[in-house]
Structure 1
């Protein structure tokens, strides 16, 4: 069996694209297609359904992919341990994260990591849709909120701490809310994603259960960055996690309000987790990135230190 053919098969299965695979291996698309056809002929099985814009695994292809992926991972681990036991991490690190979190937090962390280990190349896939890290061949996945049952290892990275904030210009024009009830008289800019339109929950330290408050405003969007920009221009209030607006809070371009209340966009406290397969922890690139990640974020995440900065 041709090892190169198996690697090409694995990438086509992971990406669902002959073109992306050809680009990855610096080969012609026709070469990739021909190699897959040769592999299917050798196995006597159709591995992919060919569509106009993508290719998808057949049932036989999916079973074969699960086995081949694990074999290739074990082979890479064995080769790395034998040939380069003391060298720095290298290879392609594949990461998946929600869009805004990836843009705001993972990109700078990854930048520092790659400066530290220049032999690392990275593939960063940002999407707010849940993906299957195993099927997509992702090394490390970031998830916000509740976790589904999984065979992956999940490590808590940080809590999700929300803040209601607005630009100084807005607060000067419209006044500062002093209680959650006041929000009904304010322009609240709301995120609207797969879970529907954002709802705002508040509770104080002596309350056992958060209560939802009626909020509405002039702008809804499925793009958090657009809402932040609108808030910076003085359009209204936003409720976002500190990892998204920490820079604006530290600089004073957004000011926190209702700080006596804990706030959330759904009942209960949520965390940010890092997910990875146990066997991937044995690869130098994954273990090095996790060490770097937790070192940079720290016990108190840097995005939650804005309040100290504003007081200093």
Structure 2
């Protein structure tokens, strides 16, 4: 089989477009179509569904793409090493992240990533579902929460820090709680996901007993950003990780931190954010480069924890 056919197929699978693939390789679209048709004939399998609007992978095509992609990555890495171009970072990298984290942070980090590696193509997929990166062919996944044992290689980005807060308007009307127990008498805006209603956990000191509070209020949602907007509007109190808040919310006095001497969370133990990849993907220099870029750009502690500095001033 011709190597060009595999490269054309992999690019069509990644972009969903014969035209984009033709532009990338600077060949006529008819050549791309002809090579892939020959590949399908030789394999005896249809790899792509074709229609006037889009191109998508068949089930056989998805399985073949995952295998071919890894082989091409290894071949490119070997060619770069042999040619002394190991520092070149180019090609496709697939990222997956939760919706809010991706929208609020990864989108602008990808802009900086492109400025540093202009020949890199990033496919950013945002979903709150726990995907299998191996089955989905994802190079790097940002996972919030506890990292279960798996065949994935994880690097901790940070521990999540939570902020309990409400708008100045809400506090002017209802007053501020002085202890976690007093939250039961307040309007709390609570996240309700697949695991049910969140419970809020507080500790005064690391060695102190944990206080678990079942809070109630006028609004519950499976969308954290909607709850933050409701808090900004004076509807109640929220408890969320620092990365969900804009620094301007506290710096300009829109939100006020509550119970700053307490450590709050939604679980009994500290949860983390990890960057994970299948072991075979870490052989790729571009995947390692993107992973390191994200770790460096986010920092330790993460830059989004700076909002707590602003919050402590109000």
Q: Normalising by structure 2, what TM-score?
A: 0.82
Q: Aligned ranges for residues 75-86 of structure 1 at < 5 Å?
A: 75-83=75-83, 85=85
**Match of 1:244?**
244
Please give the secondary structure, in 2, of the residue aligned with 1:305: helix
1:57 paired with 2:59, answer yes
CA pair 87-12 structure 1, distance change in 2 beyond 3 A: closer
- 1:128-185 per-residue CA deviation (whole Å, 9 max, x = no partner) reads 0111222222221100111233222100001111111111111111110111221222
- 1:274-305 per-residue CA deviation (whole Å, 9 max, x = no partner) reads 01234433434323323322222222211112
| Offset of residue 234 of structure 1 | 1.2
Aligned mates of 1:232, 1:150 — CA distance in 2: 39
**Match of 1:136?**
136
Aligned mates of 1:201, 1:34 — CA distance in 2: 61
Aligned mates of 2:308, 2:45 — CA distance in 1: 60
| Offset of residue 5 of structure 1 | 4.0
Please give the secondary structure, in 1, of the residue aligned with 2:157: strand
**Match of 2:21?**
25
- 1:69-91 per-residue CA deviation (whole Å, 9 max, x = no partner) reads 32122122223334461654222
Please give the secondary structure, in 2, of the residue aligned with 1:147: coil
| Offset of residue 264 of structure 1 | 1.4
| Offset of residue 213 of structure 1 | 1.3
Residue 95 of structure 1 contacts residue 125 of structure 1 at CA under 8 Å; is this kept in 2?
yes
- 1:63-113 per-residue CA deviation (whole Å, 9 max, x = no partner) reads 645532321221222233344616542222221111111112212222222
**Match of 1:301?**
302
Residue 8 of structure 1 contacts residue 21 of structure 1 at CA under 8 Å; is this kept in 2?
no
**Match of 2:216?**
216
| Offset of residue 217 of structure 1 | 1.6
Unaligned runs of 5+ in 1: none
Aligned mates of 1:23, 1:215 — CA distance in 2: 54
Residue 49 of structure 1 contacts residue 57 of structure 1 at CA under 8 Å; is this kept in 2?
no
Aligned mates of 2:153, 2:109 — CA distance in 1: 21
Aligned mates of 2:176, 2:241 — CA distance in 1: 20
Residue 40 of structure 1 contacts residue 46 of structure 1 at CA under 8 Å; is this kept in 2?
yes
Q: Aligned ranges for residues 76-225 of structure 1 at < 5 Å?
A: 76-83=76-83, 85=85, 87-205=87-205, 210-225=210-225
CA RMSD of aligned residues (A): 3.3
Residue 166 of structure 1 contacts residue 255 of structure 1 at CA under 8 Å; is this kept in 2?
yes
**Match of 1:254?**
255
Aligned mates of 1:220, 1:30 — CA distance in 2: 54
Please give the secondary structure, in 1, of the residue aligned with 2:245: helix
Aligned mates of 1:148, 1:30 — CA distance in 2: 47
Unaligned runs of 5+ in 2: none
**Match of 1:271?**
272
